[in-house]
Amino acid sequence: MSSSETTTNHKTIREWAESRGGRPSAIRTRGKGGVLRIDFGEKEEDFEEISWEEFFKIFDENRLAFLYQDKTKDGETSRFNKFVER
């Protein structure tokens, strides 16, 4: 059985993403900031890589929390994540 956790801790989020080869990214919108994403592997065309500083500024301004899974039900490292309202 796999389970997910939610956090707002910047260090936890950064360590989780970097341990999986993830980079902080945003999909730019007309408004301020953008839609946050963690980009894995080959760069996604629509994703703009941003600094962790900018990433967490947008994260906090939008009062987001990070929902993530550490392991899959098979015990493999999971990359499942999404941003939710706090």
SS3 60: helix
Q: State the amino acid at position 52 in one-letter form.
A: W
Does this model's pTM top 0.85? My answer is yes
Q: Which two tokens stand for residue 54?
A: 């900018």
Name the β-bridge partners of 7. Answer: 66
pLDDT digits (tens, 9 = 90+) for 22-33: 999 998 766 666
Share of the chain above pLDDT 70, in %: 90
Residues of the chain with pLDDT under 70: 1-2, 29-34
pLDDT confidence of residue 31: 61
